[in-house]
Each structure stands twice: as structure tokens, then as C-alpha cells.
Structure 1
Amino acid sequence: MSGEIFSQEHQIVYYETDQTGKLSIPMIFNLAILASANQSKLLGQGEEQVHANKNGWVVLQYDLHITKRPQNGDVIVIKTQAQEYNPYFAVRNFWLETSTGEELVKIKSIFAMIDMEQRKMIRIPQDIMDAYQATKVKYIDKIPAPQTIDATLPTVKQAYHVRYLDIDSNQHVNNAQYFDWLIDPLGTEFLQSHELVNLNIKYATEVRYGQEVESHFQVFDNQMTTVHQIKVGESINTEASLKWRKIIN
């Protein structure tokens, strides 16, 4: 049986929204991680306890599905559940719902644990997973890989410099920052005429302070799919595919 579902209420405030007045994509993930952090702290497995052993959680992949983004002033319920794990990987689910239980957003995620000094993946300590009461499995329920850039076609690209405030307590670029790099190059005209419905992102290599990244993308399916890469030099750090719907005014 999967672990217990943790939930907390939250009212959307203006600085969590984008130009449309709806909860921004980076903030969707920030609120999800806030809920998991609060659950972990409640169970005695918060960041302070994990970092005391020089370990840290890192996300490997997200699969986001959006039914409807909440707006400024809306009161929502954020839910999260540790679903299952094996010695090296853990699956966690997140939901954003209305106060009456209508599902707005669902996220499936895969996490691993690293030694923060050696920056290498380690076995997840059993006492941590015992606290979450997740199901122990031999093979986790994987997320399909995102669609990848077609190397035979040109990409549109934009460069970004990794700033001090992009770095989180795990000493690498905060996961939510990648969504800025993915979405920003699409431009105002595209973003004001399309609404995101699905995002599949897979992180391969950490991006660190001071590096220069390039965000590449291609557009397919009559502008209903965008495919992305985040690169440092020739190294592909992140790949993502995004599905959109046309906004009908």
C-alpha cells in the first residue's frame, strides 16, 4: 500500500501568477515541493535531518498534467503521497485541487538521493522510506521518456547565465528555474495564445553556479507540441516535451 496522503491548504497570491493571473508553471512545482517538504518535516525527515548526513534528494523526472490552472485569490488544496520505492529511486505524486475536491493539476515524480559532497547517487536509507510508509518494490513505475529534439532539424535557442539566486540548498540550480528557461524562449505571442496541458521533463546532469546554459526548442504538431533541451556546452543537461492547447477567445 502507498504512503498516506499529506494535504495543506493554500491561497494563491499575485506574485505566484504569470501575466494571465493564473498560477505560473514554476510556482506549481514550488508549491508541490513545499507540500512534500512540510510532510517530510512532520515525519522527522526534513531537509535539516537529511543534510545532517550530507545527503540530499534530487528529482530525476516530472510528468505534469494540467486540467485547469488556479487563479490569483483561489484557495486550493495541495496533496502529496510517497507512492513506492526501491533501493535507489522513489516515486512521489502531487495533486492540486479545489476546496471541493476538483482536480486541477497532477504530477508524478521520480526522486533519488545523492551524497552532497561526492555528488553521486546513493542507496536511499531504509529509515527514511519507513517514515513515509511507501510500498517497497523491485521495479518502480517509470515515467516514459520525453520526446527528444530532432537532430536533423534546426532549433531556436536562447542563452542564460546561472545566477547566485538560481541555486538552492542542494547546491545546484533549483528545479523550478528550468521551467523559466524552457518556457521563456517561446515568446509572448505563443504563450498568450496557448495553454500548457502536459509537461514531461527529465533531468540528466546538474547545472551549477556560474555556468552558461542554452535553451533549445523545436515546434511540432501544428504548434501543439514543443520539444526542448537545456545544454551546457555540448552536454545535454535536461530534456523536456510540452503539450499545448490553443486558447480560444
Structure 2
Amino acid sequence: MLINILMLASQNQSIYLGLTEEKINDKGYGWVITQHILTVERLPIFGENIRVYTKAKSYNRYFCYRDFWIEDGNGTIITRMHSVFVLMDHKKRKIARLLPELVEPYGGEYTNKIERLANPLTESNAQYVSEKTYRVRFMDIDSNQHVNNVHYFDWMIDGLTEDFLLTHDLTEMNIKYKKEIHYGETVDSETSISENKLVTYHKISAENEESCYASCTWKSR
């Protein structure tokens, strides 16, 4: 839900600027996320008033970088997220060079640099937790005709036990998307955990090809 709320902020900005999903799709393109890095000081609580912010930070020829954050009623930042977007050519199913009319209205700074973001953590001797299988439903699909990025979080967190989730809070998640998943495909979600039990590792595969992987860092309650 947290990711849904953050992504809604960027969608609202796009609508305000007249760059709706329908307009982008009519041009034969769609926005695709390649990575999220989320840090959580604490989650919002029921009944709390919060403010959700987003800002287009910068872009180059192929990548857009966007920041998100949530402030509580005192103006304290309780959650941050940094995301990488690319423009997908629907016909070619390949990343397209960014079109000025689709990025300049957001006010991000143009740069020749490509951000070198850290990959999700890995650990060779991590302990196996679970592997679950899902079938992609129609309601899992977004306007680009592939699985909405938010559903990957559901599949990953679902691999953890109830006891773990009731006794730990998420502090950081790094998730990297490699290959899109489509309607009707079978998805495997693998979960393992570090020796200190505070980092979990997740891999999503579809039709035996790795689609996404992530690491989550937790703290005990």
C-alpha cells in the first residue's frame, strides 16, 4: 500500500501536466520502472495525517530518476524512495530514447551521467525459506500489458512467515526489475534469509526466466 500511495503521487503529477497514461500509450510508449530503493524510518499509522511528495530529479537520454518521500504532521520525513524509469516502445518491446516533450514538463535536470545505483544485496550462504507459485491474473496487469510493479512486493512478502512479519519492521528494500511478466504466465517467488535473520533475499521468475530480484533489510520490534 505504501508503494501504491507513492506511485499515485507521480501519476497525479503526470495528470496535472497533461501527460496521462492514455496520452503516452497513444504515442506507442509506456513508462517502465527498472529499480526502486526504499528506506523506511517508520510506516504511517492508522488515522495519521501525512504529506506525500515526489520530484523528478534528473534524466539523461534513456533514464529518468525520481524521488519520493512522506512527511508526518511535524514535517519529519518518515519514508523515502528513489526510482528509475525508462520509456518502453510498445511495438518493439524495447527501451526507447526519451522524448523531450514527455520529460521536460516535469522540470528535472538533464545530465549526461548515468546513476550507478547499488544492486540488491546477495548472500551465498543464505538460508532457504520458501518457494511459492502464482498465476498472473488479469487484475495484475497494468496499461503496459505486463504485471504492475507493485504486485512483485506482494509475491515477495508472501514468501515470509507470519511470525517473522509480526516481529519485524522493514527498514530498506532494493528491488531491481529485469524482465516483464505477462498475463497467464506462471510466477515462482523464492525467498531466503541471512544468517543474522535481518536481511531477506527474493527472486521472482516467470517461465524459468529471472524477472526481478530484491533484498529487504529488517529490524526486530
TM-score range, shorter chain: over 0.9
Aligned identity (percent) is 37
In structure 1, stretches of 5+ residues that fail to align are 1-26
Question: What displacement does 1:68 show?
Answer: 0.8
Cα distance in structure 1, aligned partners of 2:45 and 2:28 = 39
Question: What displacement does 1:164 show?
Answer: 1.0
1:161-220 per-position Cα deviation (integer Å, ceiling 9, x unaligned)? 111111111111111100010001102011001100000000000011111111111110
Partner of 1:80: 54
Given candidates 158, 165, 168, the residue that maps to 1:184 is: 158
Work out the number of aligned pairs and report it.
Answer: 221
Alignment RMSD, CA only?
1.6
Partner of 1:137: 111
Asked if 1:166 corresponds to 2:140, the answer is: yes
**Conserved 8 A contact 1:89-1:140:** yes
TM-score relative to the length of structure 2: 0.95
Matches within 5 A, 1:3-82: 27-82=1-56
Relative to structure 1, the CA distance from residue 219 to residue 154 in structure 2 (aligned partners, 3 Å threshold; closer, same or farther) is closer
Matches within 5 A, 1:87-166: 87-148=61-122, 150=124, 154=128, 156-166=130-140
Partner of 2:183: 209
Relative to structure 1, the CA distance from residue 137 to residue 186 in structure 2 (aligned partners, 3 Å threshold; closer, same or farther) is same
1:81-100 per-position Cα deviation (integer Å, ceiling 9, x unaligned)? 00010010000000011132
Cα distance in structure 1, aligned partners of 2:126 and 2:40 = 31
TM-score relative to the length of structure 1: 0.85
**Conserved 8 A contact 1:220-1:226:** yes
Cα distance in structure 2, aligned partners of 1:139 and 1:204 = 21
Cα distance in structure 1, aligned partners of 2:125 and 2:105 = 45
SS in 2 for 1:242: strand
Stretches (4+) displaced over 2 A? 148-156
**Conserved 8 A contact 2:129-2:160:** no
In structure 2, stretches of 5+ residues that fail to align are none
SS in 2 for 1:182: helix
